[in-house]
Amino acid sequence: MTILNWITAPFRYQTLFLGFISQEIRGRYAGSIGGLLWSVITPLANMLIYVFVFSVVFKIRMKPIETGTDSFVLFLLSGLLPWIAFSEAVGSSASMFLGKAGLITKVAFPLEVVPLAGIMVTFVLNGVGFLAFLIYLAIEGYGHFAWLYLPVITLIFMIFTLGLVVLLASLSVFVRDIQQFITSALSLWMYLTPVLYPITMLSESLRILILINPMYPFIELYHEVLLKHTLPVDMLCYAAGYAIISFLTGVWFYSRSRNAFADVL
Amino acid sequence: MRLRMCCKRGKLNAIEVEHLSKHYRVYNKPIDRLKESILRRPCHHLVMSLTDVSFKIGSGETLGIIGENGAGKSTLLKILAGITQPTSGSLTRNGRIAALLELGSGFNPEFSGRTNIHLNAALLGLTEKEIRARENEIIDFSELSEVIDRPVKTYSSGMLMRLAFSIATSVDPDVLIVDEALSVGDQRFGLKCVDRMMGFRKGGKTIIVCSHSMYLINELCAKTIWLHAGRLERYGMSANVISEYLAFLETKDESISAKDQSSIKETHPEVIIEDVAVLDDSGHPITRATFLQTIRICLKARPLNGGYVGHIGIGIEKMNGEMVFVATTKNSGQPPICFTENVTIHLVLNDIKIIKGSYRIHAVVSDEHAMSIINESKSAPFSVYSNHPELGLFWIDHKWEMS
């Protein structure tokens, strides 16, 4: 029942869902002149840093057999863009319920809508950059029918992210330290995920370690579909498995603790 | 804990509350919460916010909730509104419930008034279609049509309150829960709000109001709950509960000021008033009297040396010391009383016409010219009940004539 709630919430509480989305988008850049432009500039600046360090300073070249391209920039972007969406969503999770304390303690409303809208905003905003990247890839001649898998992969990816975000958002109502924990954990996590480097650069023994990293199959799926135009079914199964585990854990903890939110906040 | 909701209309009770209790776990440090969940050893102390509260509100009834600060009123409202869950006991709610616990929670300052109407109404549970149908009515009622497309951060706080109240009451709930929210905007708009609440009542809606304004509760609510320290102290007709509550408040003020005064007089008067009591017509002590009842004031005095000659005065006063009525033996033409031994004197007051409230008897013994007071004493408070809604000290028979 609770799971069904989560799936139907955006439709049942449509006005609220859309309201929170526009609130989130406008709230993010309220008062700034650049506005939505910053959602492009900030990740762009990050990417330029990585490109400069790895492509210009270290002069890393990709092996087309392994990654489907010899350009480090293309390899980097196809993994980094999804990662940025993920880390933005997770990074904002700690303040997701805490920031709504005034509402939670005063108004009875379907709180599920808040993380759903939060995830939606992050993925839509980052989706714009990703779409631009796809167009660029197509112009460069990388376009392929395998890209049709992308919506499915992204959906599974969003479910995985949602579960984690809901879990962390609920946890931080009780343990405020989660915010600090998330910040350091995310940067560590990124370097443990083959985003900046292909997994082939790792030794065999380290690769096993990477396999238990739940973000690995997602990033790998994007790499493979975008550049090598293949769908590794084993990775898809891994990803779906992690998504289900993450979603169920998040929803379970949320339903267990939801009733106490108004008392603790 | 049981929590049921159903949507049947009709003669069902709007809200049924049985043995409801709410305890908060209070942790001194955040780490204590973690310790408790890991070590399974209690590291908190319990704060009992509500204890064993039971009542029923029929649909279409109006209920007031009164009590001192910290008595649990807000917690009860939050539980009724579904924002927080009771620790134990059961709560049954029927119909759509809208709660106005804090006007304007959920407003986004950056958005225009119009956008906030949509957002806030959606928060309160309206669908987009319903909101669109009511949008104009909300704007009209709030009288903000000129500024409705400006960001609400440019609104004055009165304007915000007006908008919030207009949205909240447009939800058209079956049960409306209001917490101290009626002091909205200027006086004229405040009246509009009260009018709307009255309209709700006429429309057969269930209304639950929590307020410190006894006048409002008395006017708006048929029944009232008095919460005291988390317990249901009284539940009944508003007029009765309110007068008991007011009496309680006055005695409380009295006991505080009495403590201050207790050490003042240490003299040895000629006559000591030993007891002042309020009795009913047949001589039994009472703590409450009803309007038009005949009561007796019984005064017992003891002379210290004997042979003192003086007069006695007995007055009814409010708890703040304001005199309502005073009779003295001298004014009534009685001869002076000779206190040779213990005396007991009764003053019979026929058909008292005092407005409901809390009173006490103030008795004095004076010299034979009624010039200086030898000794004085006050009775325990007693309350007067009355069905008359008028205010003041005395009830006067009256009628209205319109030309």
What is the residue extent of each domain of chain B?
265-385
SS3 A118: helix
Distances (CA, A) of B146 to A99, B151, B155, B172, B192: 31, 12, 12, 25, 19
- A107 to chain B: which residues are within 8 Å by CB? 83, 99, 101, 105-106, 123-124
Q: How many CB pairs under 8 A join A and B?
A: 69
Per-residue DSSP letters for B1-51?
Answer: -EEEEE---SSSEEEEEEEEEEEEEE-SSHHHHHHHHHH-----EEEEEEE
Give B225 to chain A, closest Cα distance, Å: 22
Per-residue DSSP letters for B297-345?
Answer: EEEEEEESSS-EEEEEEEEEEETTS-EEEEEETTTTTPPPEEESS-EEE
Give B245 to chain A, closest Cα distance, Å: 28
CB B223, CB B13: distance < 8 Å: no
Element (H, E) at B348: strand B343-349
- Tell me how many degrees the CA angle A199-A203-A208 measures, rounded to the nearest 5: 70
Interface contact flag, B111 A16, Cβ < 8 Å: no
> B265-385 maps to which CATH number?
2.70.50.60
Q: Residue B326 carries which side chain, given as an amino acid letter?
A: V
Max Cα-Cα span within chain A: 58
pLDDT at position B200 over 90: no
| C-alpha to C-alpha distance for B71 and B230, rounded to whole angstroms | 5
Instruction: Give the number of other Cβ atoms within 10 Å of residue B376's Cβ.
Output: 16
Most confident option among B15-24, B260-269, B343-352: B343-352
Which chain A residues touch B if contact means CB-CB below 8 Å? 13-16, 19, 22-23, 26-27, 30-31, 102-109, 174-176, 259, 262-263
Closest partner residue to A19 among B24, B30, B118, by Cβ?
Answer: B118
| C-alpha to C-alpha distance for A167 and A165, rounded to whole angstroms | 5
Interface contact flag, B105 A259, Cβ < 8 Å: no
pLDDT tens-place string over residues A192-246: 888 888 887 888 888 877 878 899 999 989 988 988 888 888 889 989 999 999 9
pLDDT tens-place string over residues B120-139: 888 887 888 888 888 888 88
Q: What is the pTM of this model?
A: 0.72
pLDDT for the residue numbered B282: 87
pLDDT at position B9 over 50: no
Report, in angstroms and rounded to the nearest whole number, the Rg of chain B calculated over CA atoms.
Answer: 28
| C-alpha to C-alpha distance for A34 and A45, rounded to whole angstroms | 15
- A103 to chain B: which residues are within 8 Å by CB? 105-106, 123
| C-alpha to C-alpha distance for B157 and B177, rounded to whole angstroms | 22
| C-alpha to C-alpha distance for A204 and B88, rounded to whole angstroms | 57
E strand spans, B127-286:
175-179, 206-210, 223-228, 231-237, 271-280
Nearest CA in chain B to A261: B84
- A176 to chain B: which residues are within 8 Å by CB? 30
Which residues, listed in sequence order, are joined to residue B16 by a DSSP beta bridge?
A: B56, B92
Which chain B residues touch A if contact means CB-CB below 8 Å? 24, 30, 33-34, 78, 81-85, 97, 99, 101-102, 105-106, 108, 110-111, 115, 118-119, 121-128, 131
Burial of B198 by CB count in 10 Å (0-12 exposed, 13-18 middle, 19+ buried)? middle
Q: Which of A18, A32, A106, A173 to mutate to test binding with chain B, by most B CBs within 10 Å of its CB?
A: A106
- A104 to chain B: which residues are within 8 Å by CB? 83
pLDDT at position A90 over 90: yes
pLDDT tens-place string over residues A96-128: 888 888 788 888 888 888 999 999 999 988 888
Average pLDDT value over all residues in chain B? 81
Interface contact flag, B111 A23, Cβ < 8 Å: yes
Helices (H), chain A: 2-12, 14-28, 38-50, 64-67, 72-91, 94-98, 101-104, 113-139, 150-174, 178-191, 204-211, 215-223, 233-264
pLDDT for the residue numbered B257: 59
Domain residue ranges of chain A, discontinuous segments joined by +: 2-264
pLDDT tens-place string over residues B135-160: 888 888 888 888 888 888 888 877 88
pLDDT tens-place string over residues A4-25: 788 888 888 888 888 888 878 8
Closest partner residue to A14 among B99, B119, B128, by Cβ?
Answer: B128
Most confident option among A100-104, A187-191, A193-197, B23-27: A187-191
Give B82 to chain A, closest Cα distance, Å: 6
ipTM computed for the complex: 0.74
Give B125 to chain A, closest Cα distance, Å: 7
Q: Which residues contact B60 (CB under 8 A, 6 or more apart)?
A: B14, B204, B205, B206
pLDDT for the residue numbered B266: 46
Q: Residue B269 carries which side chain, given as an amino acid letter?
A: P
Give B216 to chain A, closest Cα distance, Å: 23
pLDDT tens-place string over residues A31-62: 677 777 777 787 778 778 877 887 788 777 77
| C-alpha to C-alpha distance for B155 and B164, rounded to whole angstroms | 12
Q: Which residue has the higher pLDDT, B29 or A185?
A: A185
Tokens of B361: 């008897």
